[in-house]
Structure 1
Amino acid sequence: MTTSPPLTVRRARAEEWRETRALRLAALLDPAAPVAFLETHEVAEAKPDVFWEHRARTAATSDAVAAFVAVDDAGRWVATTTGLVEEPGATEVLGGPVEQRQVHLVGVFVRPEFRGAGLLGRLFDGAQEWARAQGVERARLCVHVDNPRAQAAYRKLGFTPSGVRFTLDQGEELEMVRAL
């Protein structure tokens, strides 16, 4: 890891759709992207500006979804995660039933040069604080079985396997959970 300037972790803003797009495209070029994300760089890159504008606005203003970013002093986005509040009785984003109110952490990405310094924990703290303010008591995330680096990082932050496993086009995933 290189020495970096101080970082601010905060909720993304509605007008930051260009930054939202740029960091998502960077994430989709990461070597782990094929097992970490449910879309390809090519698909994301082809989406029109209006898609990114809507995505940024929703993630900045909704009570059901919030994007958190780490930003350096120069304004460069270096990490992100998004929290999706899932309600009991609904169908969760991957198609299964939601049994309890929870926040699903998705879109997790930290630029390689910023990994290993606790930034992921700071991002998750922001998302989980927001979720607690929404009355949520549990966080969950899904991770590919062939992504041991991510699994180790999540375990370090107190996430444990729930026992739920499922298969997507990218292969087998496991759910990890943590009380808030």
Structure 2
Amino acid sequence: MEHTIRAIHADEWEKARDLRLKALQDPAAPLAFLETHAQAADRPDDFWRERASSAAEGVWVKQFIAEAADGRWDGTVTVLVERPEDEARFGEAATVEQTHLVAVFVRPEARGRGLADGLFRTAVDWSWSLKDPWIKRVRLYVHEDNARAEAFYRRIGFVPSGGKSPVPGDGTAMEVEYELPRGAELSSR
């Protein structure tokens, strides 16, 4: 099945919500997301409208999706812009202008088709296209027990930065920071 990787539109909040709820039902969700399905399902429509609107504007956040020819959304990644003067959303505060990839998900039945590669390539290209702020690195965090995600991030070209952060609500688990510095290439499949 052919897919188009594109940014979401503000009026697509229902599809964005539905894909997020699907992601939070994935068996890896407890390792991959800081929110539960129940928490997300309880959010009002206005929350989802605002979230989609912000992600569509693409000023400080941008959401990309993998859309099948029939209109079904099979994957997503969200990019957060972070600057040193900003409060940290997760992990260590930014020391340089950077973007942070979050909410990565590909439906199980669509995995193995290169959708994650396409989503990451689009997210990284968008990051490098920003002029103000001028992005110096792209980062993400992965739960120390999420071997599948870690293997993908390494394969595509991200490397451990040495940064770690405790998983909120779990004093024993850590999230490991990976980065792609400006000038580094994403690996091809």
TM-score range, shorter chain: over 0.9
Equivalence map 1:46-125=2 (5 Å): 46-94=42-90, 96-125=92-121
Distance apart, 1:156 and its partner CA: 0.7
Equivalent pair of 2:96/2:136 in contact (CA under 8 Å): no
- The alignment partner of 1:16 has SS state of helix
CA deviation map 1:121-176 (0-9, x unaligned):
11011111111121313110000001000000000110011111111224211000
- The alignment partner of 1:149 has SS state of helix
- In structure 1, the gaps of 5 or more residues are none
Q: CA RMSD in A?
A: 1.1
User: Hey, what's the Cα distance between the residues in 1 that align with 2:159 and 2:111?
Assistant: 21
Distance apart, 1:117 and its partner CA: 2.3
TM-score after normalising by structure 2: 0.90
User: Hey, what's the Cα distance between the residues in 1 that align with 2:97 and 2:15?
Assistant: 30
1:136 — aligned with what? 135
| Higher mean C-alpha deviation, range 39-48 or range 88-97 | 88-97
CA deviation map 1:44-100 (0-9, x unaligned):
001000000000000000311000000001100000000001002322211532101
Question: In the alignment, residue 136 of structure 1 is paired with which amino acid?
Answer: I
User: Hey, what's the Cα distance between the residues in 1 that align with 2:39 and 2:179?
Assistant: 29
Instruction: Report how many aligned residue pairs link the two structures.
Output: 176
Q: Does residue 7 of the first structure (1) align with residue 3 of the second (2)?
A: yes
2:153 — aligned with what? 154
Distance apart, 1:36 and its partner CA: 0.5
Q: Which has the higher contact order (CA 8 A, sep 6+)?
A: 1
Equivalent pair of 2:163/2:176 in contact (CA under 8 Å): yes
User: Hey, what's the Cα distance between the residues in 2 that align with 1:167 and 1:95?
Assistant: 8
Divergent runs of 4+, >6 A: none
TM-score after normalising by structure 1: 0.94
User: Hey, what's the Cα distance between the residues in 2 that align with 1:74 and 1:30?
Assistant: 22
User: Hey, what's the Cα distance between the residues in 2 that align with 1:49 and 1:101?
Assistant: 32
Percent identity over the alignment is 46
User: Hey, what's the Cα distance between the residues in 1 that align with 2:128 and 2:69?
Assistant: 28
